[in-house]
């Protein structure tokens, strides 16, 4: 496969992605099998670069994150992921992992998607697994669900998989979605309204939503239609429809959390101010739609030609928070392979 590098050492680069039809809820925690299909756009900003080197004489894995040793839960998740790769490679060699993440600290953007996509590609190559892109996506999924989508550039759909857990494991991977990219020509304005750590992890929030929210099943059902319509909108190059579907799917996802017991609420007062500013942009005749993930920050989908105008309005509403501009970006790749 294309993901075979120099055994012993490999470096990979991956970018974050933003879901337009969300992944929210698992059917299997260990295998990271989602309850629904999801669809995303990979971004061209904030890459993660990860190098994995095998360390034959080491007694344990060493993980460095932006120059600092990883500890606690972050380290545990990476070591568990390396164990999975070692198991497949029939290897017991430990590794040295070096990760450089360019997402500004506290930007409130998930780094687990780019992080585990880059780690999966680098580790698979370093341990000599010859994976194709589908196999890499399936592997990255085990680190973090959304990482399965960052393997691909542009738009990607992540299939939930079906049947027994073993069958669903095989069927649950991402692949590129055909889109009329030239007609769509989208941009994303990211408004950081709160850079603090989140009160509830997305893992815990998903679990609580699936277990207790009476709105979860209806959202999961309507998400199927959202996905079908999203695929058609992308194929047709209809950015207005893409935005409409993405916005209702994201608001619906937050509604499932608000109805959980106890409620999970990521939306903050500043989030709603940005939502109001986007409504005003629409009244003024611009194409602008929002999506929000497991946090208070807002991503505004708009036309590339409008991005400066949208960013100016959003910057005003975000009241001092940073604003970043992104476009569709590339998939995960190995360096010097
Ligand atoms: C998404 N999110 O589709 C959704 C929407 C957040 C809201 O994927 O437990 O870090 O590692 O599989 O991928 C964030 O969750 O969760 C996420 P795990 P992940 O982008």
Residue 49 pLDDT: 98
Nearest CA to ligand 1 atom 12: 145
| Ligand 1 binding site (Cβ under 6 Å of any ligand atom) | 19, 22-24, 32, 38, 110, 112, 144-146, 202-203, 293-294
Strand ranges inside 15-56, DSSP E: 17-21, 26-28, 33-34, 38-42, 48-55
The predicted pLDDT at position 263 comes to: 97
For range 317-331, the mean pLDDT: 94
99 pLDDT above the threshold of 90: yes
For ligand 1, what atom is nearest to the CA of residue 145?
12
Q: Do the Cβ atoms of 314 and 322 come closer than 8 Å?
A: no
Domain 182-326 architecture: 2-Layer Sandwich (3.30)
Burial (0-12, 13-18, 19+ Cβ within 10 Å), 143:
buried
**What's the pLDDT at 197?**
72
Residue entry with tokens 């995960």 = 332
In 3-state terms the chain splits into helix, strand, coil percentages (rounded to 5) of 40, 20, 35
Which residue's CA lies nearest to atom 15 of ligand 1? Answer: 202
**What tens digit of pLDDT does each residue of 218-254 get?**
999 999 999 999 999 999 999 999 999 999 999 999 9
Q: How far apart are CA 248 and CA 115, in angstroms?
A: 28
Close Cβ partners of 52 (under 8 Å, ≥ 6 residues apart): 9, 10, 11, 95, 96, 97, 119, 122, 123, 125, 126, 127
Q: Which of 27-41, 170-184, 190-204 has the lowest mean pLDDT?
A: 190-204
In the block, residue with structure tokens 């999203």: 230
CA of 27 to the centre of ligand 1 (A): 14
- Could you tell me which of 74, 307, 294 has the C-alpha nearest to residue 187? 307
Nearest CA to ligand 1 atom 17: 146
For residues 278 and 150, give the distance between their C-alpha atoms in angstroms, rounded to a whole number: 27
For range 264-283, the mean pLDDT: 97
The CA dihedral of 242, 259, 160, 247, to the nearest 10 degrees, is 10
Q: Give the pLDDT of residue 222.
A: 98
pLDDT higher than threshold 60 for residue 109: yes
Query: Which atom of ligand 1 has the smallest separation from the CA of 293?
Result: 7
> What's the gap in Å between 293 CA and the centre of ligand 1?
8
Distance linking the first and last C-alpha atoms of the chain: 12
Question: Ligand 1: distance of its center to the CA of 59 in Å?
Answer: 32
Question: By three-state DSSP, how is residue 29 classified?
Answer: coil
What band does 336 get if pLDDT is binned at 50, 70 and 90?
confident
pLDDT of 125: 96
Answer whether residue 317 shows pLDDT above 60: yes
Checking if the pLDDT of 7 tops 60, the result is yes
Q: Which of 28, 30, 144, 266 to mutate to test the pocket of ligand 1 (most atoms within 8 A of CB)?
A: 144
Mean pLDDT of the chain: 95
**For the stretch 188-210, what's the b/e string if a residue is b when 16 or more beta carbons lie within 10 angstroms of its beta carbon?**
bbbbbbbeeebebebeebbbbbb
Encode burial over 116-126: b for 16+ CB neighbours within 10 A, e otherwise.
bbbbbbbbbbb
Residue 24 Cα to ligand 1 midpoint, Å, equals: 7
Q: To test ligand 1's pocket by mutation, which of 21, 22, 23 has the most ligand atoms within 8 angstroms of CB? A: 23
Q: Please give the pLDDT value at position 105.
A: 65
* Amino acid 104: pLDDT: 75
Confidence (pLDDT) at 3? 58
Report whether pLDDT(5) > 60: no
For position 196, what pLDDT does the model report? 73
Residues 78-91: tens digit of each pLDDT? 999 999 999 999 99
Q: How far, in Å, CA of 294 to CA of 317, rounded?
A: 20
- State the alpha helices, DSSP H only, in the chain: 72-89, 112-126, 133-143, 147-150, 165-171, 181-184, 202-212, 216-236, 239-258, 269-283, 307-317
Q: Which atom of ligand 1 is nearest to the CA of 250?
A: 5
Give the closest residue (by CA) to ligand 1 atom 11: 144
Does residue 289 register a pLDDT over 70? Answer: yes
- CA 38 – ligand 1 centroid, Å: 10
181, 301 Cβ separation under 8 angstroms: no
Domain spans of the chain? 9-180, 182-326
Q: Which CATH architecture has domain 9-180?
A: 2-Layer Sandwich (3.30)
At residue 4, the pLDDT reads 56
Cβ atoms of 40 and 299 closer than 8 Å: no
Ligand 1 atom 7, closest CA: 293
pLDDT at 144: 97
Question: How is residue 145 written in tokens?
Answer: 């669900």
Pocket test for ligand 1, best of 76, 160, 294 (most atoms within 8 A of CB): 294
3-class state of residue 189 by DSSP: strand
> What is the distance in A from the centroid of ligand 1 to the CA of 207?
12
> CB within 8 A of 56, min separation 6: which ones?
93, 94
| Under 8 Å between Cβ of 177 and 157 | yes
Q: If you take atom 20 of ligand 1, which residue's CA is the nearest one?
A: 19
Distance 202 CA to ligand 1 centre (A): 6
């Amino acid at each position: 496969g294309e993901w075979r590098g120099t055994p012993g050492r490999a470096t990979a680069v991956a970018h974050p992605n933003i879901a337009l039809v969300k992944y929210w809820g698992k059917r299997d925690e260990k295998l990271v099998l989602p309850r629904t299909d999801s669809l995303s756009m990979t971004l061209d900003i904030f890459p993660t670069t990860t190098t994995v080197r095998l360390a034959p004489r080491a007694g344990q894995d060493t993980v460095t994150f932006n120059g600092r040793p990883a500890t606690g839960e972050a380290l545990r998740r990476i070591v568990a992921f390396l164990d999975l790769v070692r198991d497949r490679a029939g290897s017991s060699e430990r590794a040295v992992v070096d990760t450089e993440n360019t997402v500004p600290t506290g930007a409130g953007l998930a780094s687990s998607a780019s992080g585990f996509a880059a780690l999966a590609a680098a580790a698979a190559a370093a341990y000599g697994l010859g994976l194709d892109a589908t196999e890499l996506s399936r592997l990255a999924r085990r680190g973090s669900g959304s990482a399965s989508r960052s393997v691909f550039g542009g738009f990607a759909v992540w299939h939930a998989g079906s049947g027994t857990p073993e069958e669903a494991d095989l069927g649950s991977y991402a692949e590129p979605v055909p889109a009329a990219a030239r007609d769509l020509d989208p941009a994303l304005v990211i408004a950081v309204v709160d850079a603090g750590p989140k009160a509830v992890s997305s893992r815990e929030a998903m679990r609580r939503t699936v277990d207790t929210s009476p709105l979860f099943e209806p959202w999961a059902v309507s998400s199927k239609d959202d996905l079908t319509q999203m695929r058609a909108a992308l194929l047709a190059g209809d950015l207005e429809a893409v935005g409409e579907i993405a916005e209702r799917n994201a608001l619906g996802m937050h509604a499932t959390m608000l109805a959980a017991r106890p409620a999970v609420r990521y939306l903050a007062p500043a989030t709603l101010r940005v939502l109001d500013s986007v409504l005003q942009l629409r009244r003024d005749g611009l194409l602008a739609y929002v999506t929000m993930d497991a946090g208070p920050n807002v991503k505004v989908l708009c036309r590339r030609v409008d991005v400066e105008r949208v960013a100016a309005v959003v910057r005003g509403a975000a009241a001092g928070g940073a604003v970043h501009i992104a476009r569709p970006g590339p998939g995960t790749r190995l360096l010097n392979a």
